[in-house]
Amino acid sequence: MSLIDVEGIGPLDPADPRARVRGPAVSAPPRRPGSVRRTTTIDMRWADGWGSRLTLDGRGRDLVTTGRDGVAIARSSMRVTVATDRRVEAITIATAPDRPGIGDLVGERAGSGFRRALSAKVGGVTGADPVDLMLDDIPGATLISGFAFAQWYPIESLLAPGAAGTARQRDMTGICTGFMPGSSGLAPDGTSRWTHRTRQVEPLEANDDPLAWHDIEQISELSMRRARRIDVWRDGRDVWVDSMFQDSSTRPVGGRIAVHEYGLTARIDAESMTLVEVTPEPHVLPYAECPLAVFGVDGLIGSPIANLRTTVLERLQGVAGCTHLNDALRALADVGHLVSQIR
| Most confident by average pLDDT, 18-27, 167-176, 214-223 | 214-223
- Top pLDDT among 22 and 229 is at 229
Res. 167: pLDDT tops 50: no
Q: How confident is the model at residue 67, as a pLDDT?
A: 81
Res. 188: pLDDT tops 60: yes
Q: How confident is the model at residue 248, as a pLDDT?
A: 98
Q: What is the mean pLDDT of residues 305-323?
A: 94
**Structure confidence at residue 283 as a pLDDT band (50, 70, 90):** very high
- Top pLDDT among 271 and 48 is at 271
Distance of CA 224 to the CA centre of its chain: 12
Res. 320: pLDDT tops 70: yes
- Top pLDDT among 18 and 189 is at 189
**Contact predicate 208/198, CB 8 Å:** no
**Structure confidence at residue 159 as a pLDDT band (50, 70, 90):** low
**Contact predicate 332/311, CB 8 Å:** no
Question: Which DSSP letter does residue 274 get?
Answer: B
- Top pLDDT among 49 and 279 is at 279
pLDDT digits (tens, 9 = 90+) for 213-247: 999 999 999 999 999 999 999 999 999 999 999 99
CA torsion 75→331→273→279, rounded to 10°? 130
**Structure confidence at residue 160 as a pLDDT band (50, 70, 90):** low
| pTM, 2 dp | 0.92
- At residue 338, the 3 state secondary structure works out as helix
For residues 288 and 285, give the distance between their C-alpha atoms in angstroms, rounded to a whole number. Answer: 8
Question: Which DSSP letter does residue 127 get?
Answer: S
**Structure confidence at residue 55 as a pLDDT band (50, 70, 90):** very high
The number of beta carbons lying within 10 Å of the beta carbon of residue 75 is 18
- Top pLDDT among 15 and 237 is at 237
Q: What is the mean pLDDT of residues 39-66?
A: 95
